[in-house]
Structure 1
Amino acid sequence: MLTEINFDGIIGPSHNYAGLSLGNLASARNAGEVSQPRAAALQGIDKMRANLALGLAQGIFVPHARPDRAWLRELGTTPEDAEPGLFANAMSASAMWAANAATLSPAPDTADGRCHLTVANLRTMPHRSHEWPATLAQLRLAFASDAHFAVHGPVPPAFGDEGAANHMRLTPGHGEPGVEIFVYGVSGGGFPARQHIEACKAIARHHGLTPERTIFAEQSEAAIAAGAFHNDVVAVANERVLFAHEQAFADRDSLLAQCERRVPGFEYVEVSAADVPLGDAIRSYLFNAQLVTLPDGQMTLVAPTECRETPSVWRWLEAHIAGNGPIRRVEIVDVRQSMANGGGPACLRLRVVADPTTVDPRFLVDEAKLDRIADAVRRSWPVEIVGSDLQRPPLVAEIEAARRDLLDTLELGELA
């Protein structure tokens, strides 16, 4: 039976605040701060526990090898000799944000009836541009059944692709045919556009999507300039519902007209700038929440604590829940360590619509497996990382040993 599975990236032992992501205001604001990798990973695990408690299916992706020694070799250097700035790019734990791992089209949408995944090239930012080989290895292991999945390599790096963070799907139900919305950028306040329309169109072709099942929508320059470096910072969709800020799209009316024409029962929930200024929406990550449907059919927003702490956002949410809107419940989760680096609850997960029995079970979790992962984190993850110590050999050795411990715990030695 097809169901939605949220695959969360386990926050890696090299989690640090190097401020590497241009256009990501939280990343820039916290550059140089002391990070807490152990607390960060445990917060992520608690979020997964909360999803399980809601009755949702849950999967995982494991941290990449850090530092990325192979990438440094390609650049003619080593962890010991690399310049500090370059080493920070090799040490980034940003693969934890699984929303950027790939773009996915479920089987009901595709020409061959298989679930298609295209790994994101992430070519715009150096610290993320070397993620895709390790991500691809996990995707090909987790979704190895050729009868049910097709896993594609990255779009050529001439065109930027940042994965599901710029992709939404509208459908009467997760297991039914849907309409896929690819959101691309052009520019915004001097920040680079990370998702190119050429990449979106290439992915749609690879996935065998018909024009009737595909919409290409431009992100607004105002949103990019305000710090919405990915569409999922200002919009999120779930089943028939599109939840977005009024300044999310360059041509909102055209997008809505296409959705109304193609999606039976389409509902649009808009947050106006008068109620929630764009800056508040981005700072709180209101739209970078997980919008999910519970087993009882209740649509729920899994939102970060920062939403409750932002008065305009919390007022809007309370008013919506009190009314007759489609979002009936808000669940608050604490992912402050991820938020401080620019990634909310939705950044941490890749939504996969599939039959869980077709997925490698090592990538699916229950409470007992999360207990084992948490034990490995408590046992091996650094408590804190000071930026000036990032290149210190004992810390590098500790981080590499921690990842090996986790892979052993999950019996994923193929990824060592």
Structure 2
Amino acid sequence: MSLVEINFDGIVGPSHNYAGLSLGNLAATAHAGDVSYPRAAALQGLEKMRGNMALGLAQGFFVPVPRPNADWLEAIAVDAVAGRALLATGWSASSMWTANAATVSPAPDTADGRCHLSVANLVTMPHRSHEWPDTLRQLQLAFANERHFAVHGPVPPCFGDEGAANHMRLSSAHGAAGLEVFVYGRAGGPFPARQHEQASRVIARRHGLDPERVLFIEQSPEAIAAGAFHNDVVAVANERVLFCHEQAFADPASAYAAIRQRFPEVEVVEVPTSAVSLAEAVRSYLFNAQLVTLPAGEQALVIPGEAWESPEVRAWLDAMIASNGPIRRIIPVDVRQSMANGGGPACLRLRVVADPATIDTRFLLDGPKAEILAKIIETHWPEQVDPADLGRENLAISVRKARGALLDALGLAELA
């Protein structure tokens, strides 16, 4: 069996809007009330996927979940008195950020030799808390081969779990046994810590991970207070490389020592605060990037255009490349619609190490399928959405029709 890393991106949904529902996500709240552009957003995401395929990387995708969620809106008794913020929770397109879809442990790490996936419960934010049943349905379809996959339901909601955005993996190669690093937060400060330590420990146990090849590290409270609502806003790992900000972890020296003890081959690439401030790291989403291994073996960093345009970040990246470190290429991409709602390139993808032959092909992208997706998006996705339009029946009809056209084209009637 040939194991490779496959990035599963979320197709940006037709209800993509800027309602500013995510407390602690500075970009999302800064753009609250702005007009969004779902068609442009989805095409930007698709172009990023095509770019990764052109690099020789395997690419999958997930489809938008049903919106508006009428059952959710009924359950919370939304009416004219409830207010627009509660109404908007049923229209959120945040499932596009599949880094929050699940936590994934590849087969080489698990006791039963299968790839384990636990769908995230996302209970901290109301607008995301009702995503998981529809996300779980997709995971169960895409990874239905029980010889190779085990798909788990959510961690009980008393423990907040935000998925792979708070999980990193270090290994000599994607297909080799690795060290899984779970990053959790603690309550305090102006914003909530979304990843509970016990949620991470539950996942490690249910996935059958070797306790000697697992670490639980606390995220820096300063980073959370600065807007790093998930660990992937300040740190990302790929194979032997850990790329992080100096203020990513509560106790950086202890974190690095623990990682080196269990995985001595690690190469820590730390960006000092003196070069890139924590505020600029969060604003530019330098670390919310895709750190990938190209077919020739070199590592590349796929970053948002906002990071490339930042003088601080650009200067540090140029110096890093000149120093001949482990990250050899920088690839800027345009995901501005996602960025304005609080998610960079890393938010849009879930990393799965598996044999592509064991996955439902309807969820795997190739050139012809990308063309089909582009035509459907160009034809059916709304050009723009004003938050004031949420709740209007004509928009609901348009959004449902767009998703239906996508499912029909992909042969995914089970998700209708």
Indicate the TM-score class for this superposition, using the shorter chain for normalisation.
over 0.9
Structure 2 residue 379 is matched with structure 1 residue 353: no
RMSD, aligned CA: 1.1
Instruction: String of CA shifts for 1:172-215, please: whole Å, max 9, x gaps.
Output: 00000000000000035211110000100000000001111100
Structure 2 residue 16 is matched with structure 1 residue 12: no
- Residue type of the partner of 1:213? R
Per the alignment, residue 196 of structure 2 pairs with 196
Question: Is 66-75 or 125-134 further displaced after alignment?
Answer: 66-75
Give the C-alpha shift of residue 77 in structure 1.
5.0
Tell me if structure 2 keeps the 8 A contact 1:185–1:194. yes
- Residue type of the partner of 2:31? N
Give the C-alpha shift of residue 388 in structure 1.
1.0
Structure 2 residue 284 is matched with structure 1 residue 284: yes
Give the C-alpha shift of residue 82 in structure 1.
6.7
Tell me if structure 1 keeps the 8 A contact 2:78–2:86. no
Q: Within 5 A, what are the aligned runs for 1:258-297?
A: 258-297=258-297
Distance (Å, rounded) in 1 between the aligned partners of 2:247 and 2:350? 25
Q: Within 5 A, what are the aligned runs for 1:15-414?
A: 15-77=16-78, 83-414=83-414
Distance (Å, rounded) in 2 between the aligned partners of 1:177 and 1:308? 34
- Residue type of the partner of 1:340? A
Distance (Å, rounded) in 1 between the aligned partners of 2:245 and 2:235? 6
Instruction: String of CA shifts for 1:259-311, please: whole Å, max 9, x gaps.
Output: 11221421000000000000111101000000000000010000000011110
Distance (Å, rounded) in 2 between the aligned partners of 1:288 and 1:138? 24
Q: Residues 270 and 281 (structure 1 numbering): CA distance in 2 closer, same or farther, change over 3 Å?
A: same
Q: Percent identity?
A: 66
Local SS of the residue matching 1:91: coil
Local SS of the residue matching 1:192: coil
Distance (Å, rounded) in 2 between the aligned partners of 1:32 and 1:75? 22
Local SS of the residue matching 2:90: helix
Local SS of the residue matching 1:205: helix
Q: Which runs of 5+ in 2 are unaligned?
A: none
Tell me if structure 2 keeps the 8 A contact 1:183–1:218. yes
- Residue type of the partner of 1:204? A
Distance (Å, rounded) in 2 between the aligned partners of 1:28 and 1:72? 22
Distance (Å, rounded) in 2 between the aligned partners of 1:83 and 1:362? 39
Tell me if structure 2 keeps the 8 A contact 1:67–1:87. no
Local SS of the residue matching 1:111: coil
Instruction: String of CA shifts for 1:240-274, please: whole Å, max 9, x gaps.
Output: 11000000000111111121122142100000000
Distance (Å, rounded) in 2 between the aligned partners of 1:58 and 1:95? 18
Tell me if structure 2 keeps the 8 A contact 1:187–1:224. no
Per the alignment, residue 3 of structure 2 pairs with 2
Give the C-alpha shift of residue 84 in structure 1.
2.4
Distance (Å, rounded) in 1 between the aligned partners of 2:308 and 2:331? 10
Distance (Å, rounded) in 2 between the aligned partners of 1:187 and 1:347? 23
Tell me if structure 2 keeps the 8 A contact 1:13–1:403. yes
Local SS of the residue matching 1:409: helix
Q: Residues 188 and 270 (structure 1 numbering): CA distance in 2 closer, same or farther, change over 3 Å?
A: farther
- Residue type of the partner of 2:347? C
Tell me if structure 1 keeps the 8 A contact 2:38–2:385. yes
Distance (Å, rounded) in 2 between the aligned partners of 1:349 and 1:136? 16
Local SS of the residue matching 2:151: strand
Distance (Å, rounded) in 2 between the aligned partners of 1:144 and 1:165? 23
Tell me if structure 2 keeps the 8 A contact 1:9–1:349. yes
Q: Which runs of 5+ in 1 are unaligned?
A: none
Tell me if structure 2 keeps the 8 A contact 1:188–1:222. no
Tell me if structure 2 keeps the 8 A contact 1:172–1:263. no
- How many aligned positions are there? 415
- Residue type of the partner of 2:133? P
- Residue type of the partner of 2:402? A
Tell me if structure 2 keeps the 8 A contact 1:92–1:127. yes
- Residue type of the partner of 1:268? V
Question: Is 189-198 or 161-170 further displaced after alignment?
Answer: 189-198
Distance (Å, rounded) in 2 between the aligned partners of 1:26 and 1:58? 27
Distance (Å, rounded) in 1 between the aligned partners of 2:347 and 2:49? 13
Instruction: String of CA shifts for 1:58-112, please: whole Å, max 9, x gaps.
Output: 000000100011212323458x997422220000000000000000000000000
- Residue type of the partner of 1:214? V
Distance (Å, rounded) in 1 between the aligned partners of 2:407 and 2:223? 39
Distance (Å, rounded) in 2 between the aligned partners of 1:173 and 1:133? 33
Tell me if structure 2 keeps the 8 A contact 1:172–1:264. no
Tell me if structure 2 keeps the 8 A contact 1:188–1:223. no
Distance (Å, rounded) in 1 between the aligned partners of 2:196 and 2:78? 31
Distance (Å, rounded) in 2 between the aligned partners of 1:362 and 1:406? 12
